[in-house]
């Protein structure tokens, strides 16, 4: 249930919620401390994005367990097997702004298998370094979302320098409004998101509880992530199979190839991580989203020697991400 500007004003946000069991019953893996503003915010956000996803096709997993050490759990995760991040960075409207704000080249993130999110009000260098070291991965883009923000003119904070951070290009520290733009929240969803950010900033636990108890969406948890990856044939037993083993670093080299749109013949050089090319296949299909080269979405066929052997037009592009 989305709270609109009308019914938000009718809520008595100073009253304690009477019934905690309704929401708690659907939190099979997302355990909530009802006195912790961060946990309340994270749980509310999970439910809000889940409801938004029912209309947009987005699936947001709460408390994913992608590490061998399953005590390391992020707040949320979005799979990138459908090139969700590339799609958002090249989409018409806000795509160029997002790409500029995040300083991410959509043509150089083919290795990203998922987006992980950590929400925090602590933007001290110590916490940012600790969080980066804890969650950094070579195949995951980590977004540290600041719920409080010291700089009004800047939307991103530079990652503190630390020799232990191995994948700084995979980490972004962003203001909370950029998270809403990244997932595509609009209208009532964005209004409610801003509302819970405000209550989290002010540590208004009573207000967060009141809104939280009005929601009853089934959350996508780690069990759902595992089932989805199995259904897609991406794993056999564990979620961790989908992600690169930390014991063996893949070839992270990049080759630049010239591609030409089969519709308008516009050409451009794009980067492709060499570890994504299956050398045992005669041809690899590379999807080139709209705005990466031109206004058209097309496919390039690349052989084992990283030579382009042909192209194919894409007649229909579904707007909803599945």
**pLDDT for residue 250:** 44
Residue scoring higher pLDDT (202 or 245): 202
Average pLDDT rounded to a whole number, residues 268-275: 76
Q: Could you give the percent of the chain with pLDDT greater than 70? A: 79
Q: Residue 16 pLDDT more than 50?
A: no
State the pLDDT confidence band at 302, using cuts at 50, 70 and 90. confident
State the pLDDT confidence band at 222, using cuts at 50, 70 and 90. very high
Q: Residue 31 pLDDT more than 60?
A: no
* Token pair listed for 277: 């090319």
**pLDDT for residue 303:** 82
85 exposure class (CB count in 10 Å sphere: 0-12, 13-18, 19+) = buried
State the pLDDT confidence band at 42, using cuts at 50, 70 and 90. confident
Q: Residue 248 pLDDT more than 70?
A: no
Question: Please, which residues have CB within 8 angstroms of residue 305's CB and are 6 or more apart in sequence?
Answer: none
* Token pair listed for 235: 């794993």
Among 64-68, 138-142, 227-231, 255-259, the minimum mean pLDDT is found in 255-259
How big is the chain by its Cα radius of gyration, in Å?
A: 21
Closest CA to 204 of 13, 43, 32: 13
**pLDDT for residue 218:** 81
Inter-helix orientation angle 187-201/205-212, to 10°: 150
Which residue's structure tokens are 């069991």? 21
**pLDDT for residue 225:** 96
Average pLDDT rounded to a whole number, residues 37-50: 82
Average pLDDT rounded to a whole number, residues 310-316: 85
The mean of the pLDDT values for the chain is 80
Q: Residue 26 pLDDT more than 50?
A: no
- Residues 207 and 13: beta-carbon distance below 8 Å: yes
**pLDDT for residue 282:** 79
pLDDT digits (tens, 9 = 90+) for 131-176: 999 999 999 999 999 988 877 778 899 999 888 999 999 999 999 9
- Residues 306 and 274: beta-carbon distance below 8 Å: yes
């Amino acid at each position: 249930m989305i709270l609109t500007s009308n019914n938000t004003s009718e809520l008595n946000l100073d009253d304690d919620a009477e019934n905690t069991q309704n929401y708690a019953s659907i939190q099979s893996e997302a355990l909530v401390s009802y006195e912790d503003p961060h946990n309340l915010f994270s749980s509310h956000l999970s439910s809000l994005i889940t409801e938004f996803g029912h209309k947009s096709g987005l699936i947001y997993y709460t408390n994913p367990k992608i590490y061998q050490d399953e005590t390391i759990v992020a707040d949320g995760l979005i799979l990138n097997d459908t090139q969700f991040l590339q799609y958002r960075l090249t989409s018409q409207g806000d795509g160029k702004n997002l790409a500029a704000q995040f300083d991410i080249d959509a043509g150089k993130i083919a290795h990203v298998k998922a987006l992980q999110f950590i929400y925090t009000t602590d933007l001290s260098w110590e916490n940012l370094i600790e969080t980066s070291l804890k969650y950094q991965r070579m195949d995951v883009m980590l977004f540290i979302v600041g719920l409080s923000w010291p700089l009004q003119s800047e939307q991103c904070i530079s990652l503190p320098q630390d020799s232990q951070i191995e994948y700084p290009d995979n980490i972004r520290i962003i203001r909370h409004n950029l998270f809403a733009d990244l997932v595509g929240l609009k209208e009532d969803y964005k209004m409610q998101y801003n509302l819970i950010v405000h209550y989290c900033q002010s540590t208004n636990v009573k207000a967060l509880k009141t809104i939280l108890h009005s929601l009853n969406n089934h959350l996508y948890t780690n069990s759902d992530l595992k089932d989805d990856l199995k259904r897609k044939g991406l794993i056999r037993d564990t979620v961790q199979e989908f992600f690169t083993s930390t014991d063996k670093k893949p070839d992270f080299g990049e080759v630049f190839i010239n591609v030409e749109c089969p519709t308008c013949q516009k050409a451009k050089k794009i980067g492709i991580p060499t570890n994504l090319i299956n050398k045992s296949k005669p041809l690899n299909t590379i999807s080139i989203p709209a705005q990466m080269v031109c206004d058209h979405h097309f496919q390039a066929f690349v052989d084992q020697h990283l030579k382009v052997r042909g192209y194919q037009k894409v007649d229909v592009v579904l707007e909803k991400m599945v």
